[in-house]
Copies of this chain bind each other. A is one copy, B any other.
Amino acid sequence: MNKTIFKPCIIGLGYVGLPILLNLSKRYDAIGYDNNHNRIKKLCKGVDFFNEFKKKELIDKLVKYTNSLEAIKSYNLFIVTVPTPILKNKSPDLKHLKDVCSNLSKIIKKNDIIIFESTVYPGLTNDYCVPLLQKKNSWKEGLDFFVGYSPERVNPGDKNHDLSKINKILAYPHTYLKKDLIKLYSLISKKIIFSKNIKEAEAAKVIENIQRDVNIGLINEIYLVCKKLKLDFNNVIDLASTKWNFLKFHPGLVGGHCLPVDPYYFAHISKKNNFETKITLAGRSINDAMTKTVRNEIIYEIRKNNMRKKKILICGLSYKKDVADLRNSLSLKIYNDLKKKYKKIKGYDPLIDSSHEKKYDLINSKKEFLKFDIYILLTNHTVIEKNIKSLPKNKTIINLLGN
């Protein structure tokens, strides 16, 4: 393989695109593009907002960042990793994909390849993205330029399954540079699962997350029923786990950018095809309702134990254990709600960027951490677990979800 065949440009430098860029930059003349100017500025200075990557890696001289479309014109392989969120009415919000496709349609050259990595519903790449890519030119996908799909499987906070350690699907229905593309992806992931069918790969990705969301939803429901029946949830799960095929999921606050979103994409396309899903969204309603449940349980605990006058610290505010990302965090939502009710309450999350401290009224030192009476655990980062364990015995610790 002539490695220089490809000049890869990664579009969207979030937790999906950034590791791909860092990896490919070692081997190719690659560039990272993001339309968020602030993100680009920070990355150039070696600052990853979510603290997943080290400064040294980010400012390596081989790694290039830009927010200029002009600067990416000369590249020939575009890997698109922009977010695919939902609108307020829970239908797919395709604005980022639309912008990228419109922009790319103006700059792609003959024989360029575009690989989408964003999670979508089956059919979206070909039915939505390809027409947009063809709009500004009279080119035909599959003749003049080529589109593929390689679903991202990033699991933030999970070092055991980072990009280099996982199997990655690559769907590419063309022969043009197929082998070279497989080799490029083989350099960044452990094993490439090749498919000719983009729609099947799109479906595979979205159902992975639905399965997880539904299973966490079910365990949240069991947790809530156990509370109602005055059963010790952890004992029940420990007993059930002695069966050979019981699946040990944990109850929790399901936030982030995948599980709370992806089921709506699948339900959307099912509905459009006259099939009303019954289970796909069942996890959603329970998992979203956990915010209210947990908040009310905290209020109940505070009232029951007459803790109103005590100093209360809410620990862990990001959306997931060991992750520094506050976006779509249900823990943060609960904290903000409680803050309105109990002015004196404070928040604590040693992982998140210090720029948030003022906005959310967070403490920022180990010394301050010791000054509270009640510690309520929400997102239980490893470092929080450690700090909680080191507290004197006269402190009250409330771990409602028991994770």
Q: Is residue A27 contacting chain B, with contact meaning CB distance below 8 A?
A: no
Does A141 interact with chain B (Cβ within 8 Å)?
no
Known contacts A199-B229, A228-B275, A280-B218: does B240 contact A204 (CB below 8 Å)?
yes
> With A218-B210, A246-B211 given, is the CB distance from A228 to B273 under 8 Å?
yes
- Identify 19 new A-B residue pairs, CB closer than 8 A, beyond the known A167-B244, A218-B279, A279-B286: A191-B242, A199-B231, A200-B232, A200-B235, A203-B231, A204-B237, A204-B239, A208-B240, A208-B245, A211-B218, A211-B246, A214-B215, A221-B277, A221-B279, A225-B273, A225-B277, A229-B270, A247-B247, A279-B279
Return 5 A-B CB contacts under 8 Å, by A number.
A201-B239, A203-B231, A215-B247, A221-B277, A221-B280
Asked if B242 and A167 sit within 8 Å, CB to CB, the answer is: yes
Which A137-192 residues have a C-beta within 8 angstroms of B? Answer: 153, 161, 166-167, 169, 191
Kindly report which residue of chain B lies nearest to residue A267, judged by CB atoms.
B225
Whether B274 and A278, one on each chain, are in contact in the complex, defined by CB atoms closer than 8 angstroms, is: no
Question: Is A225 a contact partner of B279 (Cβ separation < 8 A)?
Answer: no
Are the CB atoms of A245 and B212 closer together than 8 Å?
yes
Residue pair B246, A161 in contact (C-beta under 8 Å)? no
A192-237 residues at the B interface, CB under 8 angstroms: 193, 195, 197, 199-201, 203-205, 207-208, 210-212, 214-215, 217-218, 221-222, 224-226, 228-229, 231-232, 235-237
Does A56 count as interface, using CB distance less than 8 angstroms?
Answer: no
Distance between Cα atoms of A203 and B225 in the complex (Å): 10
Most central of A167, A231, A274, A278 by chain B CB within 10 Å: A278
Using Cβ atoms and an 8 Å threshold, which residues of chain B touch A153? 243
A211-B218, A221-B278, A282-B279 known; A229 and B243 CB under 8 Å? no
Question: Across the interface, which residues of B come within 8 angstroms of A280, CB to CB?
Answer: 218, 221
B266 and A225 form a contact (CB under 8 A): yes
A interface, by DSSP: helix, strand, loop or mixed? helix
CA of A235 to CA of B279, assembled, Å: 21
A285: interface (CB < 8 Å): yes
| Residues in B neighbouring A205, C-beta threshold 8 A | 240
> Which residues of the partner chain B approach A229 to less than 8 Å between Cβ atoms?
122-123, 199, 203, 269-270, 273
Whether A211 pairs with B166 at a CB distance below 8 angstroms is no
A8 within 8 A of B: no
Contact among B200, B221, B225, B282 with A231 in the assembled complex (CB-CB below 8 Å)? B200
Contact with B along A96-134 (1 / 0, CB 8 A): 000000000000000000000000001100000000000
Asked whether, in the complex, the Cβ of A274 is within 8 Å of the Cβ of B228, the reply is yes
Among B197, B214, B286, contact of A235 (Cβ-Cβ < 8 Å): B197
CA distance A186 to B311 in the complex (A): 51
Q: Is A283 an interface residue (CB 8 A)?
A: yes
Write the chain B residue with the least CB distance to A218: B279
Instruction: Write the A284-308 contact mask toward B (1 if CB under 8 angstroms, else 0).
Output: 0110000000000000000000000
